[in-house]
Amino acid sequence: MSQLKGARVEGSVVVVTGANRGIGLGFVREALSRGATKVYAGVRDVADVTDELRETGAEIVQLEVTSAEDIAAAAARCTDATVLINNAGLHANDRLVKCDDPDAARREMEVNYFAPLATTRAFAPVIAGNGGGSIVNVLSVAAIAPTAFMGGYSPSKAAALYLGGITRAELGPDHITCTSLIVGSVDTRMAEHVDGKKEDPRDIAKAGLRAMERGEWTCDTDRMAFESRARMALDPVRYETGLGKLLFLSDLTTKA
């Protein structure tokens, strides 16, 4: 395993995609509190920015992650960036095979895989030109096992997990690390339909930034992520079978 350490948060210049709320907003707040020189907060629409994000003092950037034009403009604007947080994500809430919308899985793949690939391609030379740094990809426990009730979201996050591994290999010589975050249930809009205990988005950001600084390849950010990986390691067939059964429940809940 590479011993290359990640960027230090203090003194860094951070770009966060999907920064308007949830985990993205958590990364903005945590990076600034830990001494980042600047945070560029990427949002889908600069005319629709939450008060919570504006109050952080982050520099708002137009960055719809499926827009090649937005990505190119952001990379041209954020020329001092040393850290990229690929956080923007989409869960279409549809099945994969027996779906209502056949295009839902394609949209999930565009946002969850092709978008971080595109932003990584755009910002890698920027970060390298500033002496190196780090890329963080915000993923999910759905990336490490087929998660039937999450439809096309699970395969798109699995693809992004492989993206992280290849990114590390390609960008290591440029002194750029890549850390993939395996995230459980978090208190965000995406998990509104799930009852039970959910993590604070800022706690995910704290765990993710610590892992980035250490140069970790992957990081299980919370209790659900740790327990899911343990159950899968002990009995992968039983674990995947259990995930499949969740497809037929009307109500989803996390374990306390």
Q: Report pLDDT digits (tens) over 93-132.
A: 999 999 999 999 999 999 999 999 999 999 999 999 999 9
Q: How confident is the model at residue 185 (pLDDT cuts 50, 70, 90)?
A: confident
Local confidence band at 247 (pLDDT 50, 70, 90 cut-offs): confident
CA distance 243 to 237: 10
Mean pLDDT in residue range 210-230: 95
Domains of the chain: 13-253 (3.40.50.720)
> Residues of 95-121 as b/e, b for ≥16 C-beta within 10 angstroms?
bbeeeeeeebbebbbbbbbbbbbbbbe
- Let me know the angle formed at the C-alpha of 33 by 31 and 36, rounded to the nearest 5 degrees: 45
Residue 253 has pLDDT above 70, yes or no: no
Q: Say if residues 152 and 96 touch (Cβ distance below 8 Å).
A: yes
pLDDT at 194: 52
Residue 220 has pLDDT above 70, yes or no: yes
User: pLDDT tens, 190-208?
Assistant: 644 554 576 899 999 999 9
- The pLDDT of residue 1 is 42
Task: Look at residues 235, 197, 236, 200 and name the one whose alpha carbon lies nearest to residue 221.
Answer: 200
Using one digit for the tens of pLDDT, what is the confidence trace for 148-172? Answer: 989 999 999 999 999 999 999 999 9
Q: Which amino acid is at 21?
A: R
Average pLDDT over residues 37-42: 98
pLDDT of residue 238: 92
* The pLDDT of residue 256: 40
Contact present, 187 and 199 (Cβ < 8 Å): yes
